[in-house]
Amino acid sequence: KNQVEQSPQSLIILEGKNCTLQCNYTVSPFSNLRWYKQDTGRGPVSLTIMTFSENTKSNGRYTATLDADTKQSSLHITASQLSDSASYICVVSAVTSYDKVIFGPGTSLSVIP
Amino acid sequence: DVKVTQSSRYLVKRTGEKVFLECVQDMDHENMFWYRQDPGLGLRLIYFSYDVKMKEKGDIPEGYSVSREKKERFSLILESASTNQTSMYLCASRRDPPGEQFFGPGTRLTVL
């Protein structure tokens, strides 16, 4: 069964600190993995995308890694800001006739001053 | 920039009412999607459409129907709303797989 799991479920960190969010998946055959950021009351917005051959991708203070062998990904946030408070969703696509997309449950991040 | 708009941000309906949720995208995308998002469950796909007048069931289509008469517009219909359909509904569009899905702001539907 295609599944995406994320940990932790929620996280509180101090402004300026770093944090790492985890994503494990059992999606096959793998197509790509995206991390989305969803602010409260808004739709998700894509941060990064990685395909099978990529193992790291950065977008400003966000760095995503992918280990396709262990089927794990992480999202590292450097020097967190209050605006990083959001839900972060790991999304994995499977190669099917129509590129099936499986969403993780998300990690809720709160950055406090 | 891609813009996906949804007809309402908040909606309150009574059990048994027919509910229409509309989604419009302005980037000539082929594919459009309807999801519902519930705490702890993530986004679950209700229906998707890969072209005008085409529709495919997602993972949880029961109690819903859709309509795509024009490329830019994808409507979600609850024929007879029930309390277990209280949720956040998100519409998305993309040009084609495996492209990024662009999401609307969501409609928070409450069924009393």
Instruction: Say whether residue A8 is in contact with chain B using an 8 A CB cutoff.
Output: no
pLDDT for A66: 96
- Tell me the pLDDT tens digit for each residue of B68-88: 999 999 999 999 999 999 999
Mean pLDDT of A41-52: 91
pLDDT at A39 > cutoff 90? yes
List chain A residues with CB under 8 Å of B41. 105
Residues 6+ apart with CB under 8 A from A103: A4, A89, A90, A91, B35, B42, B43, B44
Mean pLDDT of A53-78: 95
- Tell me the pLDDT tens digit for each residue of A97-113: 666 789 999 999 999 99
Mean pLDDT of A50-70: 93
Instruction: Say whether residue A2 is in contact with chain B using an 8 A CB cutoff.
Output: no
pLDDT for B83: 97
Binary contact (B97, A99; C-beta < 8 A): yes
Mean pLDDT of B18-40: 94
Binary contact (A44, B90; C-beta < 8 A): yes
CA distance linking residue B46 with residue A101, whole number of Å: 12
What sign for the dihedral angle of Cα A67, A9, A48, A18?
Answer: negative
CA distance linking residue B100 with residue B108, whole number of Å: 23
Instruction: Say whether residue A99 is in contact with chain B using an 8 A CB cutoff.
Output: yes
Residue B77, token pair as written in the block: 């219909």
pLDDT for A28: 85
Instruction: Say whether residue A29 is in contact with chain B using an 8 A CB cutoff.
Output: no
In terms of phi and psi (left: phi > 0; alpha: psi -120 to 50; beta: otherwise), the region of B16 is left
Q: Which candidate from B44, B45, B105 shows the least CB-CB separation from A42?
A: B105
Give, in order, the Cα–Cα distances in Å from B37 to each of A31, B85, B106: 23, 11, 9
pLDDT for A29: 87
| Buried residues in A40-59 as b, exposed as e (16+ CB within 10 A) | eeebbebbbbbeeeeeebee
Binary contact (A104, B104; C-beta < 8 A): no
Q: Which candidate from B42, B97, B106 shows the least CB-CB separation from A42?
A: B106
List B residues 41-80 in contact with A (Cβ-Cβ < 8 A): 41-45, 50, 56
pLDDT for B2: 63
pLDDT for A98: 67
Neighbours of B81 (CB within 10 A): 21
Mean pLDDT of A30-50: 92
Binary contact (A41, B97; C-beta < 8 A): no
What residue type is assigned to position B38 of the chain?
D
pLDDT at B98 > cutoff 80? no
For residues B56 and A96, the answer to whether their CB atoms sit within 8 Å is no
Q: Which candidate from B42, B45, B105 shows the least CB-CB separation from A106?
A: B42
pLDDT for B41: 83
Nearest of A100, A11, A108, A4 to residue B48 by alpha carbon? A100
In terms of phi and psi (left: phi > 0; alpha: psi -120 to 50; beta: otherwise), the region of B106 is left
